[in-house]
């Protein structure tokens, strides 16, 4: 039962990471469209303003400023698609491996093979508390 709970926990955790990754890519696609529109608009507006101020040094500065601003609008989509998704994918893979790992429960200082019976269940299926026949054991350890 504990083995199944551990496997289920990590399986659900892997699913949560995959949902998070899908959401990140959705935000990335939206940001990419917005960034591309902003970049194209900034370049077009910069060229238009530079053409109005033909040969002026200010016109060239304005055009370059808009070009830089347009590329800055691409910062977040590039960050998402180049860097942000790697750690999430790695966590999902790790959770998948942990969900498939073999689990063995060991009781420290336990001599008898059915040592687990002293701890389980704390409440019987009929809702009665155990009578205290078993004393608390040393710390349980999952390995």
Q: Would you give the distance in Å from CA 47 to the centre of its chain?
A: 41
If asked whether residues 85 and 124 sit together in one domain, one would say no
Beta bridge partners of 106: 141
> Are 73 and 110 in a shared domain?
no
How many Cβ atoms are within 10 Å of 42's Cβ, its own excluded? 20
Task: Check whether residue 94 and residue 126 sit in a common domain.
Answer: no
The answer to whether residues 33 and 94 belong to one domain is yes
Are 92 and 117 part of one and the same domain? no
pTM over 0.85: no
Residue with tokens 């101020």: 53
Number of domains in the chain: 2
* pLDDT tens per residue, range 16-67: 999 999 999 999 999 999 999 999 999 999 999 999 998 889 999 999 999 9
In this prediction, residue 140 carries a pLDDT of: 52
Q: Are residues 72 and 10 in the same domain?
A: yes
Domain match, 12 and 60 both: yes
**For the segment 69-94, what is each residue's pLDDT rounded down to a tens digit?**
999 999 999 999 999 999 999 999 99
Quick one: three-class SS letters along the chain?
A: CHHHHHHHHHHHHHHHHHHHHHHHHHHHHHHHHHHHHHHHHHHHHHHHHHHHCCCCHHHHHHHHHHHHHHHHCCHHHHHHHHHHHHHHHHHHHHHHHHHCCCCCEEECCCCCCCHHHHCCCCECCCCCECCCCCCCCCCEEEC
Task: Place 106 in a pLDDT band, splitting at 50, 70 and 90.
Answer: confident
Position of tokens 């040592």?
115
pLDDT of residue 122: 58
Please check whether residues 31 and 98 belong to one and the same domain. Answer: yes
Q: Which domain holds residue 14?
A: 2-103
- Looking at the predicted structure, is the pLDDT value of residue 115 above 70? no
């Amino acid at each position: 039962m504990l083995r199944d709970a551990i496997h289920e926990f990590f399986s659900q955790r892997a699913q949560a990471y995959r949902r998070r990754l899908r959401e990140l890519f959705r935000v990335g696609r939206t940001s990419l469209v917005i960034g591309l529109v902003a970049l194209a608009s900034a370049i077009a507006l910069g060229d238009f303003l530079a053409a109005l101020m033909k040969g002026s040094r200010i016109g060239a500065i304005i055009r370059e400023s808009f070009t830089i601003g347009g590329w800055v609008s691409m910062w977040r989509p590039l960050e998402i698609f180049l860097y942000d998704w790697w750690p999430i994918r790695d966590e999902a893979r790790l959770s998948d491996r942990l969900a498939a790992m073999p689990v063995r429960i060991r009781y420290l200082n336990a001599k008898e093979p059915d040592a687990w019976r002293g701890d389980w269940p704390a409440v019987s299926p009929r809702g009665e508390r155990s009578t205290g026949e078993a004393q608390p054991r040393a710390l349980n350890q999952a390995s």
